[in-house]
Chain A
Amino acid sequence: MFDTFAFATLPEDHGGLRQAVREIIARHVATLPLERRARSWQGFDSAFSRALGAAGLLGLTLPTAYGGGGLGPFERFIVVEELLSAGAPVAAHWIADRQSAPLILNFGTEAQRQAYIPRICRGELVFCIGMSEPGSGSDLASVRTRAERTAGGRWRVNGQKIWTTNAMHSDCMIALVRTSGTAADRNAGLSQLIIDLKAPGVTVRPIVDLTGDAHFAEVFFDNVELGEDALIGSEGEGWSQVVAELAFERSGPERIYSSVVLLDAWVAHLQALGRRDADALVGRLTAELATLRAMSIACTARLALGESPVVEASIVKDRGTTFEQDLPLAIADDLAAHPDELVSADLYRALMYVTHIAPSFSLRGGTREILRGIIARGMGLR
């Protein structure tokens, strides 16, 4: 079963990518406080993303003709691994680099590619993804936001998106909307539109999360007028495009390293104290990290062969987020099992931040239950 999902070796980093990322991290990230680095994915820093773009470290897998690196999934793995393991604030380019640009490359017109991809590769254009709605979470096919054709083939959008990561910082949203039929038509009649979030009729309201951050938002569309060129891909094909897009989101090392800054801080704490009663726990977490890394590289190897490893990516994501969620709980228990031991304020804040935000790890990009349904389908159970 899933016989091709097997150990693979990460090729040599001939381009010196790791070193290039490390130099930028040393300048921009190493001095950030622990709790900022613990935010990694959620950390928004336009200057950092532009620095990566200027160094040629964004759009690595995109063609050079559009300003990309013309490299493969393995090179992207190396860069992402370096960024996330350092806790770099990647939010300003993350979605555009990982999902929006590949989507535009695969399904967009030549004009759309020229308009968006080079700016994404420079770290200048921030994207968000409009999928969830108040009545539409895991059941994406039930979206109600509507786009209608108006005179001259233009589009008029009405509706609402919610839980949209970084909408308040974004220039554009790629939204899944209904362009024909009703919710009863399920995944038929859906399309993807690129919505300029500066357009009249768009209202973005940040939503504060349980950590006090506002990393997501609700977005309202009130008769938003868009040009003919807002449609990405084919009208009515939004569903299959979204499925392809989610495969980008679910693969890669991003789903194993969200809590690794906290792991490093805890290991440093144990080392500073010389405490050795946690060897087995450190070993367990290290073994899980190593196995997940090997699984992630194995999944990347399928991407590098030009496949779309949907089941493999779902396995890595489900397992990776389980690890990321377990990590703060295990560390908290270890620390509090030593009530007479001093824990620094930095470590405590980072620990509690990761603890509180961790439930989101297995929500974004497809819930655990949805992923396991995909795996079960791959096993021939559905």
Chain B
Amino acid sequence: MNELLSPFDGLLERLATPEAIKAIETGASPAAMWRDLDESGFLDALVDEAHGGSGLALADVEPLIAAAGARAVPLPIAETMVARALIAAAGIAAPRGPIAIAGSAQAGQTVPLGLVAEHVLLDTGTTLVLAARDDLTPAVTGVHRDLAARITWDGAPQGLSVARPDHGLRPIAAVLRATLIAGAAARLTEQTTAYANDRVQFGKPIGKQQALQQQLAVMAEDMIAARIAAQLGCAAGLTVSPLQAAVAKATASALAPRIANTAHAVHGAIGISEEFALQLLTRRLHEWRLADGSEGYWTAVLGGARLADPAPSVDWVRARVFA
């Protein structure tokens, strides 16, 4: 997949600089960044070839979604990729603007990147509705530099109806969040390791202290666990089951705050500053942890299904998660 990842990540590196991200977070228009992303063609990667896409599987684009997470891109790349695939499969021409996804039918819910989206693909529980974002009375959350929107509607949300996957939008949305978390975790682990090797205290790089080495080793383990759990979810494709999504998201969500905490602990005070780019990733880790179900939600889903089946644990996991 390197032949896809390398040009895509190069594009993100050029477009989503920390300065550009901060500008959009403080109200600058994302239109130019989005135009470049859309013209790259990558956003149609999951659309089947009959509808003008690349026909790739979710597992194929997993490295791209992780890269979007690692670069803290302030636009819904992963969500739009999935939304375009679902819309195309319904035989509808997708709008070209950014699409956020909302896995809950609850009015008043918080949708990540809702402020920079033009549409929201909304799961009503019986169908998906592609609603114009501005018809959903988007409101800011009030959290500093947050690009999420609180959306609400009267009656039923209005828009094009799109066939709903068997298990709705939440499992696939959860897998996307897990993959974004894994991408951010990878970048944070690299940044934090580099910082530990660079920062000198007590006459040597702090990374030479065994106490830090042990913490960073655990951070790397957490990063790998989040990566492999997210990849397990992506391997199931757009029809991912709630149980596969549960393993991916419960794992990534539980690890996200641990990874953010170690990144901050090693960086010290500078990591808390607005100017330093670390916060672009750690704030997102906390947002993605909660979006589309935290570990508490998904472990209850997984445990409930597990307890309903008398099979031994390993057999159950093989049949229901790895099948």
Contact = CB atoms under 8 A, between A and B. Distances in A.
Contact of A282 (B193, B220, B307): B307
A2 B313 contact: no
Contacts of B210: 373
B125 interface: no
In this complex, the member of B218, B223, B246 whose beta carbon has the largest number of chain A beta carbons within 10 angstroms is B218
B153 interface: no
B220 A291 contact: no
A5 interface: yes
Contacts of B225: 291, 295, 319
A251 to B, nearest CB: 14
Nearest to B315: A85
B26 interface: no
A319 B217 CA distance: 11
| A contact residues, range | 35 or more
Contacts of A376: 213-214, 216-217
B317 interface: yes
B313 A298 contact: no
A1 B223 contact: yes
Given A284-B250, A284-B299, A381 B307 contact: no
B303 interface: yes
A382 interface: yes
Given A1-B186, A81-B314, A271-B307, A290 B214 contact: no
Interface in A266-287: 267-268, 270-271, 276, 278-284, 286-287
A287 B251 CA distance: 7
A200 to B, nearest CB: 45
Interface stretch (A164-172, A256-264, A357-365): A256-264
A155 to B, nearest CB: 38
Nearest to B225: A291
Contacts of A2: 220, 224
A15 B212 CA distance: 46
A372 B218 contact: yes
A306 interface: no
Contacts of B295: 284, 287
Given A264-B313, A281-B303, A287-B302, A1 B213 contact: no
B258 to A, nearest CB: 12
A291 B303 contact: no
Q: Is the interface of A mostly helix, strand, loop or mixed?
A: helix
Interface in A59-84: 81
A373 B306 CA distance: 36
A207 interface: no
In this complex, the member of B193, B225, B314, B322 whose beta carbon has the largest number of chain A beta carbons within 10 angstroms is B314
Contacts of B321: 290
B214 A276 contact: no
Interface in A325-382: 369, 371-373, 375-376, 378-382
Interface string A41-58: 000000000000000000
A99 to B, nearest CB: 24
A283 B303 contact: yes
A144 interface: no
Contact of B303 (A278, A290, A381): A278
B296 interface: yes
A85 B254 CA distance: 25
B247 interface: yes
A294 B232 contact: yes
A298 B231 CA distance: 11
B172 interface: no
B288 interface: no
B213 A287 contact: no
B213 A373 contact: yes
A304 interface: no
A45 B193 CA distance: 47
Interface string A237-261: 0000000000000000000010010
A85 B313 CA distance: 8
A43 B295 CA distance: 36
Contacts of A260: 313-314
B92 interface: no
A382 B212 CA distance: 11
A23 B213 CA distance: 46
A293 B322 contact: yes
A85 B314 contact: yes
A137 B186 CA distance: 34
A373 B214 CA distance: 7
A6 B231 contact: yes
Contacts of A371: 217
Given A283-B246, A315-B220, 17 more contacts: A1-B190, A2-B220, A278-B303, A283-B299, A283-B300, A283-B306, A284-B254, A287-B251, A287-B299, A288-B251, A289-B314, A290-B247, A291-B247, A293-B322, A295-B225, A379-B189, A381-B208
24 contacts: A1-B220, A1-B223, A5-B224, A267-B313, A278-B303, A279-B304, A280-B303, A281-B299, A282-B307, A283-B299, A284-B295, A284-B303, A286-B317, A287-B229, A289-B317, A291-B251, A293-B314, A315-B220, A318-B217, A318-B221, A371-B217, A375-B217, A380-B193, A381-B216
Interface of A: 1-2, 5-7, 9-10, 81, 85, 257, 260, 263-264, 267-268, 270-271, 276, 278-284, 286-291, 293-295, 298, 315, 318-319, 369, 371-373, 375-376, 378-382
7 closest A-B pairs by beta carbon, nearest first, are A283-B303, A283-B299, A7-B231, A282-B303, A283-B302, A279-B303, A376-B213
